[in-house]
Structure 1
Amino acid sequence: MTTQNKSRRIEQLIEVLADGEFHSGERLGEQLGGISRTAVNQYIETLQQLGLEVFRVSGKGYRLASPLQLLHQQQIQDYLVAEKIELPLELQRVVTSSNDVVKELRVANPTAGLTVLAEAQTAGRGRRGRQWHSPFGTNLYLSMYWPLARGLSAAMGLSVALGVGIAELLDSAGVQNVQVKWPNDVYVNNKKIAGILVELEGHASEAAHVVVGIGLNLSMPSATKNIDQPWTDLASELPTALNRNYWAAKMVSECYRRLQAYDSDGLTPMLASWQRFDKFYQKPVTLVMGNKNVVGRALGIDDDGALLVERNGQVERFHAGELSIRDVAEV
């Protein structure tokens, strides 16, 4: 069997089980093209590897622990039309990394705003090569291509601009205590809800390309393991019921518009908004850069997206590092 056929059968199985009802192994085998019950069980194991909780009850068959609200491309497109956004959009159920798929697609279609949405990633990644936990059908994995006519130097503040955009979007939807963490994370009540990965190709003084990846926790499974920091999801923070297709469209729209605004006006118009949401503003912090620790007081960012830290009476600019609240022992 080809990889493509296997992937399609996995998608078909998910679509059948999405209703949360029991489906017999025999019936599932028929719906998947006449395969055996043993083969059905093997596909079920694949779903479990994707983070889906599947129950099997003798005499009843298989069902998911809870129904899935799947993403649908046409619904997302309809929302985008209402937002007056036109861009190439592709929805895929399972990918290795949505950023990698965009990189492949842009070779044939280098259109600004080319976007891939995924239900799950098998090799999702965050900053510094870290794994991005990507269970199926619960969160949002979005990647967008954007050309940089002014070269890589123009990309310095991209993650900051997008972080501000996500924070404003969540805040406007009624989410309380939204925070941004320099340079690429969004928090709610000190719990991570979204992360941004910017991957660049090109040279500093020549036209370049960027692929922006955004992971937003929509309805993270409560039993999720292997996440080494506090997290939350949109379903827990919204005052109203979650519509995954609506939020997928809102995130695509916000990302596209924010990149346009950054292209035309830079970060300067966004600085006040960043300060409003800044998780570390005016707080004692430690910035870790390899084996070096910078200890001081965070003063926000400048119009290039650099972190401003006051220490020894001087304000210094930093473009990289891991930021945290300074430990009491360091004060």
Structure 2
Amino acid sequence: MRKSVIQELLSVESTELLSEIQIFDEIDSTNVEAIRQIRSGNSSNCLILAKAQSAGRGRRGRNWASPPEAGIYMSMVRQFTLPPNALQALSLVTALSVKSALEKMKVQGLKLKWPNDILFEKKKLAGILLELQQQEERCHVVFGIGLNIALPQEVGKSIGRPVTDIVSITGLKPDLNMTVAAIVNELCINLTKFEQSGFSSFTDSWNESDCYFHSDVVIQNGERSTIGKSLGVDSNGALLLQTATGKQLINGGEVFPSLRELPT
């Protein structure tokens, strides 16, 4: 990856938003580095990239496999004046942005899993970890994105769940600079749209892309499991679940396919 090439490929909106691009050969975690910089007084919007991570992080405390040249590991920092409780749907907006960017690069057949996984044939291609840092009246959001490009076979087998990468889907390794710029450009457009109109303008797009839409699922949240039929997301990004006792709004947890049918 080259900073000058990425900068040339960024849209006007992205260029105006981002004050700097940082690229590391290896780092513990781009999200951790972003948070370190925010806490040390760096309040700018920036993009942090790494060619490898020694301690990549995923949702729910999981590790994110980040070997050299095998993926894109990036964190974009953006300030918001909206209160934190108004930003809960940003993970879904980010997933939609990554999916859209990849589709424009001819990576087809992608689906989403609530709240923020990008899948191909129900194998995980990309994941997202958002972290908020509140400073006075401004909220910094760190948009962590991990995208598998060409995972070594032994790494894929060690992850313990179905995963895939761009090379396995398309047979070609994409230009990393173009891929980073495409994701950033799409994300910047959608974040502006989100600030102006909230998540309601994304609801239909999400439900059309949701691989478990109208399917029986299990929501695992800590020790609690809830079984129901996914009815898609509402205008705030919460998952609407039809359970045996009625409809429930789900705001957290992980989705799994249900192995048993609901009573009708």
TM over 0.5: yes
Instruction: Tell me whether 1:213 sits opposite 2:144 in the alignment.
Output: yes
Distance 1:178 1:81, change over 3 A: closer
**Structure 1 residues without counterparts, runs of 5 or longer:** 1-70
Moved over 4 A (4+): 81-84
Equivalent AA in structure 1 for residue 69 of structure 2: G
Instruction: Tell me whether 1:192 sits opposite 2:124 in the alignment.
Output: yes
Match of 2:25 in 1: 93
> Which is higher, the Rg of structure 1 or of structure 2?
1
Contact 2:228-2:262 within 8 A present in 1 as well: no
2-side partners of 1:246 and 1:207: how far apart? 31
Match of 1:111 in 2: 44
Which of residues 251, 261, 268 is equivalent to 2:200? Answer: 268
- Residue identity over aligned pairs, in percent, reads 32
Shift of 1:119: 0.5
Contact 2:56-2:66 within 8 A present in 1 as well: yes
Instruction: Tell me whether 1:73 sits opposite 2:6 in the alignment.
Output: no
Match of 1:236 in 2: 168
Match of 2:89 in 1: 157
Question: Does 248-257 or 300-309 show the bigger shift?
Answer: 248-257
Contact 1:148-1:154 within 8 A present in 2 as well: no
Give CA-to-partner distance per residue, 1:184-239, whole Å, 9 cap, x none.
21001111100000111239x95322211000011111221420111111122237
1:103-142 alignment, distance < 5 Å? 103-106=35-38, 107-112=40-45, 114-142=46-74
Contact 1:99-1:213 within 8 A present in 2 as well: yes
Shift of 1:172: 2.7
Shift of 1:281: 0.2
Match of 1:10 in 2: none
Instruction: Tell me whether 1:328 sits opposite 2:260 in the alignment.
Output: yes
2-side partners of 1:303 and 1:231: how far apart? 30
1-side partners of 2:14 and 2:116: how far apart? 27
Match of 1:223 in 2: 154
2-side partners of 1:200 and 1:269: how far apart? 23
Distance 1:310 1:166, change over 3 A: same
Shift of 1:84: 6.0
Give CA-to-partner distance per residue, 1:225-282, whole Å, 9 cap, x none.
4201111111222375521111121122222222222222211111111111101100
Equivalent AA in structure 1 for residue 180 of structure 2: A
> In the comparison of the two structures, how many residue pairs are matched?
259
Higher RCO (Cα < 8 Å, 6 or more apart): 2
The DSSP-based 3-state class of the residue aligned with 2:10 is: helix
Match of 1:48 in 2: none
Contact 1:167-1:277 within 8 A present in 2 as well: no
Instruction: Tell me whether 1:303 sits opposite 2:235 in the alignment.
Output: yes
1-side partners of 2:100 and 2:171: how far apart? 16
**Structure 2 residues without counterparts, runs of 5 or longer:** none
The DSSP-based 3-state class of the residue aligned with 1:90 is: strand
2-side partners of 1:244 and 1:183: how far apart? 25
2-side partners of 1:207 and 1:164: how far apart? 25
Match of 1:43 in 2: none
Contact 1:306-1:319 within 8 A present in 2 as well: yes
Instruction: Tell me whether 1:285 sits opposite 2:199 in the alignment.
Output: no
Give CA-to-partner distance per residue, 1:153-172, whole Å, 9 cap, x none.
12210100111111222223
Match of 1:31 in 2: none
Contact 2:100-2:186 within 8 A present in 1 as well: no
Shift of 1:288: 1.1
Match of 1:41 in 2: none
Instruction: Tell me whether 1:177 sits opposite 2:109 in the alignment.
Output: yes
Equivalent AA in structure 2 for residue 72 of structure 1: R
1-side partners of 2:259 and 2:207: how far apart? 22
